[in-house]
Amino acid sequence: MSADAEAPLEDREREMNGTAEGATVWLTGLPSAGKTTIAGVLAAQLRAAGRRVEVLDGDEIRTFLSAGLGFSREDRDLNVQRIGFVAELLASHGVIVLVPVIAPYADSREAVRKRHQAGGTGYLEVHVATPVEVCSERDVKGLYARQASGEISGLTGVDDPYEAPEEPDLRIEAHRQGVEESAAALRALLSERGLV
């Protein structure tokens, strides 16, 4: 039996008719916090359950949509607003959009939230709250090592600001639980909000 056949008939009909409710789920946190990993696991689960899901990965966005932008505050803000625009557009058409992007400034994230609210589109902010010490040990992309050696500067949370959400919809302490547990917590939030 396919995953689609396992989904309740009403849910499958809403998906086919394009009337399923979409939302943007912005996973913010430091580099190497686990944002993309959690988003990937959750996306696979939601697709298996028959939901339309897109993951807007920060690295891919910088390569294709925001090529040429640097890491000044203005460029970071512009990058976040571009991602927010695409996310809102997709979410307004019934897609669950997972956005594992640092978005270090609270006012940039708030502007994206307001854009969603103005369009009547769901928006959830999730803080993947892995401490910088743990992130630097993981150092998935080697950024912390490059910053420590002086090769790069402006690393978010080290020598560039990161404004952690004060009241996110969900805070995940990914250093204290596994990826599956973190994805399950996020899926439970989506279920609580009637999105899955």
What pLDDT score does 123 carry? Answer: 97
> Which letter does DSSP use for residue 150 in this model?
T
pLDDT averages per 10-residue partition of the chain, 196 residues: 46 47 97 97 96 94 89 94 97 97 97 96 97 94 93 91 96 95 97 91
H helix intervals, 7-142 = 9-16, 35-48, 58-64, 73-91, 106-119, 132-138
Amino acid at 45: Q
CB within 8 Å of 32: residues ≥ 6 apart: 130, 135, 136, 138, 139, 140, 141, 143, 144
| pTM of the complete model | 0.88
**Strand 23-28 versus strand 53-55 pairing type:** unpaired
What pLDDT score does 196 carry? Answer: 85
* Share in percent of the chain as helix, strand, coil (round to 5): 45, 15, 40
What pLDDT score does 144 carry? Answer: 94
What pLDDT score does 158 carry? Answer: 93
What pLDDT score does 177 carry? Answer: 95
User: In Å, how far are 2, 108, 162, 187, 196 from 49, measured between CA atoms?
Assistant: 9, 32, 35, 12, 9
What pLDDT score does 2 carry? Answer: 42
